[in-house]
Amino acid sequence: MKIEVVQLENIRSHVKSTVPFTSGFNCVVGGVGCGKSSVMYAVDFALFGGSVTRGFDYLLREGADAGKVSVQFSQNGKTYKIIRGLHRRGGGKSILQNSDELCLYEEDTLLASVKNDAVAEQIKAITGLDRDLYREIVWFRQEHLKELLDVAPRDRQRRLDELFGVSDYDVAWNNIATYRRDYEIEKNVYLKDSDVNNIEALSNDYNRVSEDFTLLEIDLESLTEKLATAKRNLEAAEQKLKLLEEKKLKVEELKRKETQMHTSLQSSTNNVASLNQRVEDKKILIDNLCQRQLSMNSQKSLLLAKLEQTGLPIDQPFDQLGSFLASFDDKISSLRGEQEVASKGIQTDQKRISQLSQEDKCPLCVQSLTGQYKTDLLLRIEQENAERQKIINRLRLEIADLQKAKTIASEAYSGLQMCLTRETDLAARVSEEEGNLAKLIIELETQQKLVIDQQNQHLMLQNEIATFDLSDLDAARVFREQTFKQYYVLDSDLRVKVNRKSDLLRRIDEIKLRIDTAQEKVEKVEKLERIIEVLDAIRDAYRSIQPKLRVEFVKALRNFIQQVLDGLVGGETPLLNIIIDETYTPYVKSDLGITREVGNLSGGERTLLAFAYRLGLGQLIMQSKVGHGLSLLMLDEPTENLGSEDGSIERLAEAISRFKAIEQIIAVTHSEVFADKAEHVISLEKEAGVSKITLER
């Protein structure tokens, strides 16, 4: 695994930073608090998502609501990129991962997202690392480099046994003891089972029940034959009884039909009588209507005679008589006009006579009149008025005669109009009643035919009922009851024995099952005894193999540490010979054969030894778990307890730069002397609380 680019956004003092890395020895250098270790923490968070403390307060920039880390790395020729985010929740009191931003890509293909477990599984499949292993052998946090050298030997042994998997044998040894105890308990339970201890008695009981079952089957066979014969007799009796009962039902049905037919015949006879009466009533009604028509014709003749007396032409259609009747009003109006003209003439002449009586002038020409002429004029006017009066009197008489004739004609016309309307209504009524009479006559004839048909059917039903004889029905019922009782007794006996057979069969099955189960338990006891023997052998093997495995791991660890240490020291300083005991505690042996503990080494030697110890341990673990050595090393302030005056920092940096067994080493330091030996140097400074990155080489 090789880290290529780390991008930080709102991570501690980094607002937005991009940190590139290459193969070989990379060094991030800068003063205290400028954001160097933040890069290490950000890589750990991006790869595994876990916190190194109880929360993420150490990682998210103060005052920021969200942050993000992106790490691009390569493995086996493929490029991967993982992105994780942080955000504040609950008003800024808690900081949590933002699962929506969690993504893992291979090139441009999304491998996993959102779910942390899925991403962790992919990371382990790609790199062979999980979070605990990464923090133990890849990332050497500040002041943790010498941690394994400083712990008590037993704690170191327990911790490394867990890493190497040696402690798994202790776990397996204890787990096997649990399984052995469970198997022992199971075996004792089987041995206490009553059926296991009495399997011979069960076999004898099985033989006895089987013999009873065989005898019962023979008895059932004979009883089944008797029952079959009884069943055939019963079926024959039931069939005969069924036919007779069907015959009885048919007779009863015929009687019901005969009763219904009698009722229907009576009803039809009553309908015929009723229809006869209705026909007679209808004929009387039609006769009455015809008499009314004759009376109406006589009345119409009288009215026409009155109209003829008034001078109206009765040979005209009735609709035109109205116009002739209106001529009376015209004549009366005309006579009254003449009467009014005559009256006005008399009035005018009266005025002239009055004027002539007072003056001797003509009322028309205003000329003077002489005595004789005036007298003649007055006489002539009076004569004219007398003539006019006669005309008025004559006109009055004519008007009175016309008024009387009009009244007579109007009354005759109205009466005639009423007669015509009633005549029309009577004609329609006569026609309607004659149609109803015709329908009644047809209905009467139909009903009479129906009565004749019903009488014939009634007679036929009576004859058919008389042909049935039900004397055999009671005898058939008695015979059926006798055969049924015989069948019932045999069937009950058979059922009892069948149930007995089922009980015996169930008993046989139960005993057989108990025998089989007991036999299986006996076999299981034997199998459990063999399993317990095998488990005891395995536990003994685990107990004996654990020290041997530890010895082999100690040898391999010593070789790896020695190789790393030789690579770090080179030929410039005396070589350090390493000895590792069974607690994985390292010692240094001089050429003179003097063995020194770690506490007796110089600060530089202890740092080199701690560095080599952790590298050798990492190489061994990676080889044992994934089949290849460690390819990445993350060092956070590896120069702790080293001084620049004695050259120990420079020597450590020189040793790391010469160590080529690991593809990529990334170190974080404040020492410029240490950084001078790196192949790739990233410088960090803080300006106004924000980290700034400079690539020096």
Helix, strand, coil shares of the chain, percent, nearest 5, are 65, 15, 20
Length of the chain: 697
Question: Beta partners for 455?
Answer: none
Contact present, 636 and 27 (Cβ < 8 Å): no
Cα gap 357→360, rounded to integer Å: 8
CATH number of the structural domain 316-436: 1.10.287.510
Confirm whether 2-143+629-695 and 316-436 share one CATH topology.
no
Strands 66-75 and 690-695: unpaired
Contacts of 303 (CB under 8 A, 6+ apart): 412, 415, 416, 419
DSSP state of 4: E
DSSP reduced 3-state for 113: strand
Contacts of 105 (CB under 8 A, 6+ apart): 80, 81, 82, 111
Class of domain 2-143+629-695: alpha beta
Quick one: tokens of 56?
Answer: 């993420």
Count of CB atoms situated within 10 Å of the CB of 319: 7
Residue 168, pLDDT score: 72
Closest CA to 642 of 609, 691, 690: 609
Contact present, 6 and 19 (Cβ < 8 Å): yes
Contact present, 69 and 16 (Cβ < 8 Å): no
Question: Beta partners for 578?
Answer: 588
For the chain, which residues make up each domain, given as ranges?
2-143+629-695, 316-436
Contact present, 86 and 97 (Cβ < 8 Å): yes
DSSP reduced 3-state for 114: coil
Buried b (16+ CB within 10 A) or exposed e, 57-75: eebbbeebeebbbbbbbeb
Closest CA to 675 of 649, 694, 646, 647: 649
Give residue 7's Cα distance to chain centre.
Answer: 46
Task: List, for the chain, all residue ranges whose pLDDT scores fall below the cut of 70.
Answer: 92, 142-145, 312-316, 318-326, 358-371, 468-470, 542, 567-575, 591, 640-646
Cα gap 229→240, rounded to integer Å: 17
Contact present, 521 and 193 (Cβ < 8 Å): yes
Quick one: tokens of 150?
Answer: 């400083």
Strands 94-97 and 103-106: unpaired
DSSP reduced 3-state for 130: coil
H helix count then E strand count, the chain = 14, 16
Residue 40, pLDDT score: 92
Residue recorded with tokens 């002429």? 373
Count of CB atoms situated within 10 Å of the CB of 511: 20
Count of CB atoms situated within 10 Å of the CB of 544: 10
Q: Which amino acid is at 225?
A: E
Residue 253, pLDDT score: 83
